[in-house]
Amino acid sequence: MSKKLLYILSVLVLSITIGVLSTSFIMAEEADATTVTNENGESINVDTENDRNNSNKLVLFDPTFSYFTETNDDSLEVVLERVEGTNYQVLRKGSGDQAIPENGLVLSTGSQSTDTIMSFLNSLSEGETVKIGEPVEKVYENLLDDINPTDESNPDGAPFPGNRGADQLLLYTTEFGSSTGTNPYGYEITVTDGVVTKVGGGDSAIPANGFVVSGHGVGAEFLKKAEIGMKVVYENNGYIKLIRDASIFIFKSEQALNEAKQSIALAEENYIDADFDKAYRSIEEAEDLLVKADEWKDNDPQRALNYTKQATQAAYDGYYYSLPSEVGEQRAIWYRPEEKDLEDVTTTLNRMEQAGFNSLYLETTFWGYTIFPSETMKSYGLPEQHPIFADQDYGKYGSDVLQAFIEEGEKRGITVQSWTDGFMIGHSSLGLPSQFKKYPEWSAVQRNDEPGTPGYDSSSNYYWLDIANTEVQQFMLEIYEEQQKNYDITGLNIDYMRYPHHDFERSYSFSTANREQFEAEFGTYPIELSPSDQLWEEWEQWLREQENTFVEKLHEQSKSIDAAFMLTATPEPGPEAVLISDWVDHIDGVIPQAYGHDFNSIQSTVKASKELTPSSMMYYTGIYSFYHHVDEKAAVADVLAAAHGTSGGNMFAFGQASAPSVDALGKGPWREAAVNPGESPREAVLATVQQLQKQTENIYIPKGAINKNEGQALVNNLLKWKVMMERPSKSLTQEKVNKELVKTMDNIDAMNSLDDVVKDRLSEKIEKMEKWLNYYYEKQR
């Protein structure tokens, strides 16, 4: 294993071990509950934290959850801003989905709530000071389903990896093996010497002096209460206890501090271009705060608790500043817009800019509408614009929220790609889509549906247009052409471009036109076939060809308008991921969806998808950090894992982003502005060689990673690349570029004084440059 990969893995281990999911769905005994006390001295217990299901309970939302509570509109919510210590001031009261202040909280309850909760929240007045009392000690208890499960002892888990079944809670010791063997769809905590030392992931290594507790579904939700440093015991009666006491906060702070120091030392040792000044200042701040915590631990435990929390955050910051920040990579975010005015748009974009995003995959079509005023929709007799935007005022942009995001995003270095729902146009809860009210024959037909009578998918409750219908294809092509011609978007990210994948009884698509066309070609109606029939495979292939034909048409159309325009696909794990190979000639990039939150599970998705796509494909990784509400440390770990061996990543989705995670990304792996290689490959190469030149002159030569003579030769070579990338396109042939790439790699290999880890780093960068330039010549010209 190379020193470079060892460094990457070391950084990821440090990040993952202190990456904790946000304290979602925490419910403790009443004696352990957080309390809210008003100015009259009246108190009420908080039932749970960061839980969107606020029915009949009092929920406390903090900034680790998101920028908004994401609750139903009929909720009652009180927004609080911290004044000092545990004192908060009431900012406002309102309905659901309130904004969570970055230095505050929100108290929330559903419309169906107790008189006690409603009365207390209604009694709070704007400007009033309330006190939030958080108990130092909490105990959570649950019953284990099994210990070291086998097929015999746990038959419900027998079909699954690690013998872990649905909603189960299991404990694994070294008697089971070296690891749990589980998949990434649950949640695990590693306990060493009775203390939680790692949270999250699957197939966790089982420590010799400890154990792993693994959960799925309900069991996973219980384990998400665990924090680094918690004490864990399991008893003979089959119960397991998670114990949080005062020691956890000191443990967590000291561990975060030690790991930040390790990361800084690792960065120094490996000649990383880190922000060491800020890293060391953060470490000093953390140490000072821990001293204060120690001074107050006996006289004022609550104040000591606040100091330890601040110390932990400062240590986290020290870690973030120790990470490298690349200047050539995609940093994209998927987002469904909800903004009501221009101020909302700029607030959202400011937050994206703070995190370091350079590409916004904005959902431009959903529920059968366009977010922009569409002449195409109008010409088909359909609603011109999505109703939630049609009556809004975005200043100089009128009701055109898409144009607002494009122009305001450009000011912040954020380009916009169109993310589309494709042929999925609605949900049963919203009623019949407008397309089917006017064109019922456009509906995709599930096996048990009647042709000409639009129905929704029996599994997902989504409505689908019939991909094979030539009228539907023409309509969709016109929608995408209108976007590309009328708006300065840089690409189109296609979603839902295949029929739903179901078993035989729920299979698609048996419209009258499809039945007749297949019968004309093969002599049989597809509705009469069964999976055992020889022609069933022909029918499935025929439908697949209709999907592929549309993507081919879309690619040809987009490239005829602009050769640099990107068409990307986002396959889900399973059939979609396997079928991505059908589209390799008709898309420019692939973004497989990695649902896990550890290096191995994310990279396994990357590896599997790469095996199905050619090297000329632009490759990113889709991660679900925000959507799953992982905490800031885990979000950084996801980003690092997603970027390894790829040209960047896409995060899902900004609607669930939190202020701490945005802050962490902006201080850590994304603190330097980056050029998107898929949109601007030559500019990404230019930015990369300029960064390498600066690092060679300011780090590698002064710190002895390379001697002065060879260092200067490397600088001269990088300067040559800078000149090449600034030349006009017509004077820079692919043959010339490839020759220079080979020459540069040979020169680097021949540098005897060059440190191995730096040599690996340079080689990786040159390989990426080669990929980007080959993409430029093969896809953008």
Whether residue 323 contacts residue 669, with contact meaning beta carbons closer than 8 Å, is answered with yes
Angle between helix 599-610 and 632-643 (nearest 10): 30
Residue 161 has pLDDT above 90, yes or no: yes
> Does residue 11 carry a pLDDT above 80?
no
Residue 310 inside a domain? The answer is yes
More confident residue, 501 or 668: 668
| Residue 8 belongs to some domain of the structure | no
State pTM to two decimals: 0.88
The tokens of 326 are what? Answer: 């690349």
In a domain, 4, yes or no: no
CATH number reported for the structural domain that contains residue 399 in this entry: 3.20.20.80
User: Residue 3 is encoded by which pair of tokens?
Assistant: 């020193």
- Please tell me whether residues 299 and 208 are part of one structural domain: no
173 and 95 in a common domain = no
**374 and 470, same domain (yes or no):** yes
What is the token pair recorded at 419?
């993310």
Among the ranges given (4-18, 467-481, 611-625, 681-695), the one the predictor scored with the smallest mean pLDDT: 4-18
What is the residue-averaged pLDDT of the chain? Answer: 92
d(CA 289, CA 310): 7
d(CA 673, CA 459): 43
Q: How many helices (H) and strands (E) does the chain have?
A: 22, 29
How far are the Cα atoms of 4, 49, 498 from residue 514, in angstroms, in the given order? 54, 51, 15
Region 263-273: what's the mean pLDDT? Answer: 98
431 vs 325: CA distance, rounded Å = 47
Query: Between 20 and 509, where is the model more confident?
Result: 509
pLDDT band at residue 10 under the 50/70/90 scheme: very low
Q: Is 602 helix (H, G, I), strand (E, B) or coil?
A: helix
3 domain residue, yes or no: no
Residue 405 in contact with residue 371, Cβ under 8 Å? no
Element spanning 294, H or E: helix 276-296
pLDDT at 781: 65
Q: What does the pLDDT read at residue 654?
A: 97
Helix axes 708-725, 681-695, angle to 10 degrees: 160
Average pLDDT over residues 608-628: 89
Q: What percent of the chain has pLDDT over 90?
A: 81
657 with 686, same domain: the answer is: no
Q: Which of 244, 261, 286 is the last residue of a domain?
A: 244
Average pLDDT over residues 29-56: 88
Given a cut of 80, whether residue 20 has pLDDT beyond it is no
Separation between Cα atoms, residue 197 and residue 294, nearest integer Å: 23
Tell whether 359 and 269 lie within a shared domain.
no
Pairwise pLDDT comparison (615 vs 207), residue with the higher score = 207
- Using DSSP's 3-state secondary structure scheme, residue 382 falls into coil
Which of 244, 261, 296 represents a domain boundary (last residue)?
A: 244
Query: With 0-12 CB in 10 A as exposed, 13-18 as middle and 19+ as buried, what is 325?
Result: buried
Confidence of residue 504 (pLDDT cuts 50, 70, 90): very high
**Chain centre to alpha carbon of residue 131:** 34
What pLDDT is attached to residue 7?
39
Residue scoring higher pLDDT (685 or 227):
685
How high is the pLDDT of residue 573? 77
List the structure tokens of 655. 């609607």
pLDDT of 464 above 70: yes
Rounded Cα gap, residues 282 and 716, in angstroms: 37
As a whole number of angstroms, the distance between CA 676 and CA 674 comes to 6
Q: Residues 537, 543, 546, 551: is their CA dihedral positive or negative? A: negative
The answer to whether position 168 is within a domain reads yes
- What is the count of structural domains for the chain? 5
156: left (phi over 0), alpha (psi -120 to 50) or beta: alpha
Q: What is the tens place of the pLDDT at every residue in 214-243?
A: 999 999 999 988 988 889 999 888 999 999
DSSP string, 512-555: HHHHHHHHHHHSS-GGG--TTSTTHHHHHHHHHHHHHHHHHHHH
Amino acid 163 reads N
Asked if 587 and 500 sit in the same domain, the reply is yes
343 Ramachandran zone, left/alpha/beta (phi>0; psi -120 to 50): alpha
pLDDT surpasses 80 at 668? yes
Find, among 146, 145, 179, the residue nearest to 162 by Cα: 179
Give the residue-averaged pLDDT of 58-73: 95
Tokens of 632: 């800031």
Which single residue is written with the structure tokens 């009701």? 399
Q: What is the pLDDT of residue 19?
A: 35
Query: Could you tell me the pLDDT band of residue 28, with boundaries at 50, 70 and 90?
Result: very low
C-alpha gyration radius of the chain: 28
Residue pair 760/2 in contact by the 8 Å Cβ criterion: yes
Stretch 469-494: mean pLDDT, rounded?
98
Q: What is the 3-state secondary structure (H, E, C) of 422-478?
A: CCEEEEHHHCCCHHHHHCHHHECCECCCCCCCCCCCCCCCEEEECCCCHHHHHHHHH
| Cα separation, 413 vs 617, whole angstroms | 24
Residue 588 in this model has a pLDDT that exceeds 90:
yes
CB 216 within 8 A of CB 164: yes
> Which tokens belong to 767?
């390989």
Q: Do 296 and 413 belong to one domain? A: no
Do residues 564 and 473 share a domain?
A: yes
Alpha-carbon span 97 to 69, nearest angstrom: 5
Instruction: Tell me which residue of 337, 342, 345 sits closest to 370, measured CA to CA.
Output: 337
In one-letter notation, the amino acid at residue 283 is I
Q: For 151-167, what is the mean pLDDT?
A: 96
State the amino acid at position 744 in one-letter form.
T
Q: Is the pLDDT of residue 30 over 60?
A: no
Residue 597 in contact with residue 637, Cβ under 8 Å?
yes
Contacts of 115 (CB under 8 A, 6+ apart): none
Residue-wise pLDDT for 738-765, tens only, equals 999 999 999 999 999 999 999 999 999 9
| Residue 727 reports pLDDT greater than 60 | yes
**300 lies in which domain range?**
253-321
> Each residue of 373-418: pLDDT tens digit?
999 999 999 999 999 999 999 999 999 999 999 999 999 999 999 9
- The contacts of residue 298 (CB under 8 Å, 6+ apart) are none
Domain stop point among 274, 296, 321: 321
Amino acid at the residue 490: T
Phi then psi for residue 425, to 5 deg, are -125, 10
527 occurs within a structural domain: no
- For 681-736, the DSSP string reads HHHHHHHHHHHHHHHIIIIITTTTSS-HHHHHHHHHHHHHHHHHHTS-GGG--HHH
**DSSP category for residue 100:** P
Give the contacts of 776 (CB within 8 A, at least 6 positions apart).
Answer: 681, 682
Q: What would the two tokens of residue 328 be?
A: 């050539």
Residues 718, 736: Cα–Cα separation, whole Å: 16
Are 384 and 468 part of one and the same domain? Answer: yes
Partners of residue 509 on adjacent β-strands: none
Is 23 domain-assigned?
Answer: no
Give the number of other CB atoms < 10 A from CB of residue 178: 9
- What's the whole-number mean pLDDT along residues 130-142? 87
In a domain, 533, yes or no: no
Is residue 98 located within the same domain as residue 193? no
Residues 302 and 451 in one domain: no
Q: How far apart are CA 45 and CA 78, in angstroms?
A: 15
Q: Are strands 76-84 and 104-109 parallel, antiparallel or unpaired?
A: antiparallel
Distances (CA, A) of 739 to 24, 57, 732, 734: 54, 67, 12, 9
Q: C-alpha angle with apex 552: 549 to 553, nearest 5 degrees?
A: 90
Give the other-Cβ count within 10 Å of 143's Cβ.
11
* Per-residue pLDDT at 85 exceeds 70: yes
> How far from chain centre, in Å, is Cα 206?
28
Which pLDDT does position 13 carry in this prediction? 40
Whether 230 and 260 share a structural domain:
no
Q: Which of 206-215, 444-453, 772-781 has the highest mean pLDDT?
A: 206-215
pLDDT at 773: 95
Residue with tokens 């995190």: 355
Amino acid at 528: E
